[in-house]
Amino acid sequence: MIQKLKASVAVTLVLILSMTSVFASPDHTYAATVDVGAKSAILIDADTGKVLFEKEADLTLPPASMTKMMTEYLILEAIEEGTISWDTTTQISQYAYDISANPNFSGVGLKQNQDYTVRELYKAMAINSDNATTIALAELLAGTEGEFVKMMNEKAAEMELPDYEFVNSTGLNNSHLGDNFPEGTAPDATNLMSARSSALLAYHLTNDYPEALDYSSMPTAEFDGQTITNWNWMLPGMPGQLAQFSYEGVDGLKTGYTELAGNCFTGTAEQNGQRLIAVVMKSETRETRFQQTGKLFDYGFQQFEKQELFQAGYQQEEQKDMPVAKGKEDRVQVETSEALQTLVKNGEEEQYTVQYNISEDQLDEEGNLVAPVKKGQKIGTAELVYNGEDDYGNLLASNPNTVDLVTTSAVEKSNWFMLMLGNIGEFFSDIFTGAVDMVKGWF
């Protein structure tokens, strides 16, 4: 069930959560090898959604400009669907211009009565976290930011984000927007997400639209005759003293800061074909959010390795075959169609087993497969199960470490004469069994 918070009480709830979280125990105890100072954090495998670490990941907090990940997703989706293109042009509304001219917000200095392409606006949003270009894109796609906010919340529900409330496209507090706060939201409302929801949003963004990383990975870019700089200091190739924060393989994704939110960061990095996504929320400073993310990445890359635990064709010792009714053979062997692999923590290779899930629609009332059975026929699934102590689960509703369970050979249907003989045998067997039971009852 999607949990939404009413915007009118959002700030109050955030303050309550911030106070009570100090005294509340997190759902999971996290590994002592990772000491993350942020109030909330999570680390996931970007390929499968497997959670490798979490610290109070379900606290619902302001995400600040990490909100823009949803705006990015909707823009990229619209480009894919042909609603707009990278070359579509638009001009800046008075609302977007006022935000751009405010020195308190991230801004690239937009001009009115000038055409900007979607590509230009998207680059400024993704690289420089520009708020006015974000508003301009929202207005272009939906007509008004209020209508765009509806799209954001609908997409969040579709993605099954567990904790969220979007009230604007940028991540600013609505109070920053003056009279321009989006219709249908409260003037003092703020966007809300948990670290778990932020990680799931980043999972969808990077998997559905990997081209988002082409932009988020740029340390600098040219915009309207000026150089804009990425707020993600972990990117390799950052200029000057910012290079000290660089981390191998980082190519995204989104920073965030407001006074209410504190310092937030959703980062992603790839090393040796393995991609991780980390989220830290309410970190102390700009610097510590990157340092804490580096600790999470170190833990993930050093302690976990993708391993093939069960090869294709694996068979459980206790269930190598299944009974078959009305066939020329009375049993058929079953096996996995593909290998089962996952990120495995060092030394935990033996903590995994395979669970068979046989499809009921493949069985008769007695639990038999019914001939004819084809070779390679899917009869269910084989699921990789972790039996260790530190099970943080998966962001996704279904287990991605699941493959088809198939038959290894065909079983032809028995001919009518043999089926008739079998039925006659069953008939007399039933009579004999009944007679024996009746005789037993006499004595």
Active site residue 194: no
Determine which one of 93, 106, 129, 414 is catalytic. Answer: 129
Residue 68 per-residue DSSP state: H
Q: CA 97, CA 117: separation in Å to the nearest integer?
A: 16
Dmax over Cα atoms in the chain, in whole Å? 105
Determine which one of 39, 50, 55, 68 is catalytic. Answer: 68
In sequence order, what are the beta bridge partners of 357? Answer: 381
- Helix ranges (DSSP H) in 160-313: 195-208, 212-216, 286-303
Residue 343 φ then ψ, to 5°:
-75, 125
Tokens 């993605």: give the residue: 159
Determine which one of 40, 65, 93, 217 is catalytic. Answer: 65
Residue 81 tokens read as: 């669907």
Active site residue 50: no
Reading phi first (left if > 0) and then psi (alpha if -120 to 50, else beta), residue 190 is in: beta
Distance between start and end Cα atoms, the chain:
61
Tokens 């910012």: give the residue: 242
Residue 84 per-residue DSSP state: S
In whole angstroms, how far apart are CA 357 and each of 56, 384, 411? 33, 11, 21
Active site residue 129: yes
- Residues annotated as catalytic (active site), given as ranges: 65, 68, 129
